[in-house]
């Protein structure tokens, strides 16, 4: 019961004491240090330990009960619930066994304070958005289309936009036609729609390990059986992949072949070809999530699978969140010919159609050719940041015994400590120094603690990068040393308990 003694409440905090206490106990429950059905201390006893009024403990316990973390048994006290909240099996697993901030970050919802350096966000900052251009186009659409811009759109997408997207795709070597385009309200919806169309509960889906959190959540929510395969610097191990395919005969495999999230790794041309051959041989669909192939700073391999897809096995997802604006909630799928009816039904059941106003404005954006100018602009911005980041990682971080494979494009850097370390802990230490990173646990299906973490350059300004990384390197040093000391201590003293 030692953890109750360690709870620190501050009377100077803006938070009420009972809320602080509620938070502390909740975190222990979520982290599993206080287990299901364990009894909480009697109210007076805990009040005494923490030097607070009984009323503070009463209110904290009430809040815990309201939120479903504990339950009362009349006459015998307060106990930890079996499940913090009886979430449906599918959603529950999205919860994190780490602290509240992290669980917010998992939903992209962390509040970033002004004084923080966020290497966590993979989303560009609002000052990079082409807002003025877009405002002009929105008005052009409204003046031209009036109420029609606010009627229901075709579920498949506004036809002229689908035509523009066909032309846009041609620039990237993908030949398709408007019938095979499905407009979606962002890449996350794309994954959700694909899951609805192709996955029944118990179906196997293969993912990369680590991979995009949102994909894990969606496939889990659909009841899929997820098999993940570790990714290497040049893509999945094809033999391992084939063995898993042979065994499980999946319907779908979900990949990010270029500048993978979170690792930044890209598949070699040969591996891309081999994945396509497997799709042909074993007859499954590949979901290619192309959130960033546009950002290849050194003209290295960034061919999309879809452009190599002779046999029509690839469902291609394109998002505009990183290159244009995340709040557009706009993206599209390029579909294999036969996938169309299923996908359309799934899209319709999801939200009927994507905003017509946004579709129409973005259509003009593509037709006017402004997007080329903008992508070029974003490339330059990100390339500058990339080069600073690469340099300072080499200067401050690598000497600490950390491994790193330069991605040569994209926005993400994947750094790994020695295997004994925990980046959940590192995250908690770094956040106290106002540095945000994303621990590897967020990107894995089982959400186990990991020795790797992700840094992104999407939301840091060039002048923030060196001081930020330097500060981070000090946190890492401190963390490594504290771990080493603990080890030494463990040898000398026998800790109580």
Q: Give the footprint of its own copies on residues 190-229 (CB under 8 A).
A: 192, 196-201, 214, 217-218, 221, 223
Question: Residue 301 interacts with its own copies (CB under 8 A)?
Answer: no
Beta bridge partners of 319: 331
- Rounded to the nearest whole angstrom, what is the least distance from the CB of residue 149 to its own copies in the complex? 7
- Rounded to the nearest whole angstrom, what is the least distance from the CB of residue 256 to its own copies in the complex? 17
The per-residue DSSP string of 30-55 comes to HHTSSPTTPBPPPHHHHHHHHT--HH
Give the one residue of 20, 78, 118, 153 binding its own copies; rule: CB under 8 A: 153
Cβ-contact 145, 152 below 8 angstroms: no
Question: Residue 469 interacts with its own copies (CB under 8 A)?
Answer: no
- Tokens in use for 203? 């179906």
Give the one residue of 152, 299, 419, 463 binding its own copies; rule: CB under 8 A: 152
Residue 255 contacts by C-beta under 8 Å, 6 or more apart in sequence? 208, 236, 267, 275, 286, 287, 288, 289, 305
Question: Residue 250 interacts with its own copies (CB under 8 A)?
Answer: no
Give the one residue of 262, 326, 407, 409 binding its own copies; rule: CB under 8 A: 326
Residues in contact with its own copies, counted by CB under 8 A, come to a total of 75
Q: Give the footprint of its own copies on residues 56-75 (CB under 8 A).
A: 66-68
Question: Residue 447 interacts with its own copies (CB under 8 A)?
Answer: no
Give the one residue of 1, 36, 55, 131 binding its own copies; rule: CB under 8 A: 131
Looking at the Cβ atoms of 199 and 472, the one nearer to its own copies is 199
Looking at the Cβ atoms of 271 and 374, the one nearer to its own copies is 374
Distance CA 353, CA 152 (A): 7
- Rounded to the nearest whole angstrom, what is the least distance from the CB of residue 210 to its own copies in the complex? 18
Question: Residue 474 interacts with its own copies (CB under 8 A)?
Answer: no
Residue 426 contacts by C-beta under 8 Å, 6 or more apart in sequence? 417, 437, 439, 453, 475, 476, 479
Instruction: State whether the Cα torsion 72-36-216-448 is positive or negative.
Output: positive
- Tokens in use for 217? 């959540």
Distance CA 288, CA 350 (A): 21
Q: Give the footprint of its own copies on residues 83-102 (CB under 8 A).
A: 85, 87-91, 94-95
Q: Give the footprint of its own copies on residues 331-360 (CB under 8 A).
A: 337-338, 341-342, 344-346, 348-358
Cβ-contact 19, 100 below 8 angstroms: no
Cβ-contact 154, 471 below 8 angstroms: no
CA atoms within 13 A on the CB side of 463: 0
- Rounded to the nearest whole angstrom, what is the least distance from the CB of residue 489 to its own copies in the complex? 39
**Is residue 65 exposed (0-12), middle (13-18) or buried (19+ Cβ within 10 Å)?**
middle
Give the one residue of 328, 378, 416, 472 binding its own copies; rule: CB under 8 A: 328
Give the one residue of 45, 54, 139, 391 binding its own copies; rule: CB under 8 A: 139
The stretch among 45-53, 55-63, 142-150, 266-274 that binds its own copies (CB under 8 A) is 142-150
SS3 state at 344: helix
Q: Are strands 77-80 and 70-73 parallel, antiparallel or unpaired?
A: antiparallel
- Rounded to the nearest whole angstrom, what is the least distance from the CB of residue 303 to its own copies in the complex? 27
Residue 1: CB atoms within 10 A of its CB come to: 13
- CA-nearest of 230, 122, 125, 209 to 455 is 122
Residue 64: CB atoms within 10 A of its CB come to: 23
- Rounded to the nearest whole angstrom, what is the least distance from the CB of residue 80 to its own copies in the complex? 16
Distance CA 117, CA 172 (A): 34
The stretch among 34-42, 49-57, 166-174, 327-335 that binds its own copies (CB under 8 A) is 327-335
Q: Give the footprint of its own copies on residues 367-396 (CB under 8 A).
A: none
Distance CA 238, CA 244 (A): 10
SS3 state at 304: coil
Looking at the Cβ atoms of 214 and 410, the one nearer to its own copies is 214
Looking at the Cβ atoms of 151 and 399, the one nearer to its own copies is 151
Give the one residue of 62, 133, 140, 154 binding its own copies; rule: CB under 8 A: 154
Question: Residue 108 interacts with its own copies (CB under 8 A)?
Answer: yes
- Rounded to the nearest whole angstrom, what is the least distance from the CB of residue 132 to its own copies in the complex? 9
- Rounded to the nearest whole angstrom, what is the least distance from the CB of residue 111 to its own copies in the complex? 9
Residue 327 contacts by C-beta under 8 Å, 6 or more apart in sequence? none
Give the one residue of 20, 78, 155, 260 binding its own copies; rule: CB under 8 A: 155
Question: Residue 157 interacts with its own copies (CB under 8 A)?
Answer: no
Beta bridge partners of 232: 235
- Rounded to the nearest whole angstrom, what is the least distance from the CB of residue 106 to its own copies in the complex? 9
Give the one residue of 36, 38, 42, 126 binding its own copies; rule: CB under 8 A: 126
């Amino acid at each position: 019961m030692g953890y109750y003694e360690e709870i620190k409440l501050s009377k100077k905090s803006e938070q009420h004491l009972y809320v602080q206490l509620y938070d502390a106990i909740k975190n222990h429950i979520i982290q599993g240090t206080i287990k299901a059905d364990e009894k909480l201390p009697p109210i007076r006893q805990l009040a005494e330990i923490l030097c607070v009024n009984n009323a503070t403990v009463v209110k904290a316990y009430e809040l815990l009960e309201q939120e479903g973390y504990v339950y009362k048994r009349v006459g015998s006290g307060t106990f930890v619930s079996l499940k913090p909240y009886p979430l449906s099996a599918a959603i529950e697993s999205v919860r994190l066994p780490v602290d509240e901030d992290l669980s917010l970050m998992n939903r992209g919802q962390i509040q970033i304070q002004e004084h923080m350096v966020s290497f966590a966000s993979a989303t560009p900052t609002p000052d990079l958005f082409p807002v003025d251009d877009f405002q002009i186009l929105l008005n052009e659409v409204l003046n031209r289309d009036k109420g029609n811009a606010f009627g229901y759109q075709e579920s498949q997408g506004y036809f002229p936009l689908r035509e523009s997207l066909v032309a846009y795709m041609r620039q990237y070597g993908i030949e398709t036609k408007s019938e095979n385009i499905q407009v979606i309200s962002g890449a996350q919806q794309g994954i959700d729609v694909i899951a609805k169309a192709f996955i029944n509960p118990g179906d196997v889906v293969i993912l990369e390990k680590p991979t995009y959190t949102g994909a894990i959540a969606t496939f889990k929510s659909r009841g899929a059986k997820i098999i993940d395969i570790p990714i290497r610097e040049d893509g999945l191990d094809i033999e391992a992949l084939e063995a898993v395919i042979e065994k499980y005969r999946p319907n779908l495999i979900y990949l990010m072949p270029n500048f993978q999230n979170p690792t930044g790794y890209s598949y070699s041309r040969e591996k891309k070809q081999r994945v396509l051959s497997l799709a042909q041989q074993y007859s499954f669909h590949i979901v290619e999530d192309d959130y960033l192939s546009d950002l290849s700073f050194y003209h290295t391999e960034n061919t999309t699978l879809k452009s190599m897809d002779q046999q029509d096995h690839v469902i291609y997802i394109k998002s505009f969140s990183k290159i244009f604006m995340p709040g557009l909630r706009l993206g599209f799928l390029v579909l294999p010919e036969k996938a169309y009816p299923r996908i359309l039904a799934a899209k319709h059941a999801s939200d009927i159609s994507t905003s017509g106003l946004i579709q129409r404005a973005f259509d003009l954006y593509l037709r006017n050719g402004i997007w080329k100018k903008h992508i070029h602009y974003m490339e330059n911005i990100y390339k500058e940041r990339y080069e600073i980041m690469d340099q300072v990682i080499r200067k401050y971080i690598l000497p600490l015994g950390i491994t790193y494979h330069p991605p040569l494009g994209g926005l993400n850097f994947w750094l790994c400590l020695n295997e004994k370390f925990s980046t959940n802990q590192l995250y908690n230490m770094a956040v106290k120094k106002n540095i945000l990173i994303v621990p590897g646990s967020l990107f894995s299906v089982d959400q186990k603690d990991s020795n790797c973490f992700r840094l992104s350059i999407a939301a840091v300004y060039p002048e923030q990068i060196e001081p930020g990384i330097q500060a981070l390197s000090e946190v890492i040093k401190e963390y490594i040393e504290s771990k080493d000391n603990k080890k030494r201590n463990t040898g000398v003293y026998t800790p109580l308990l």
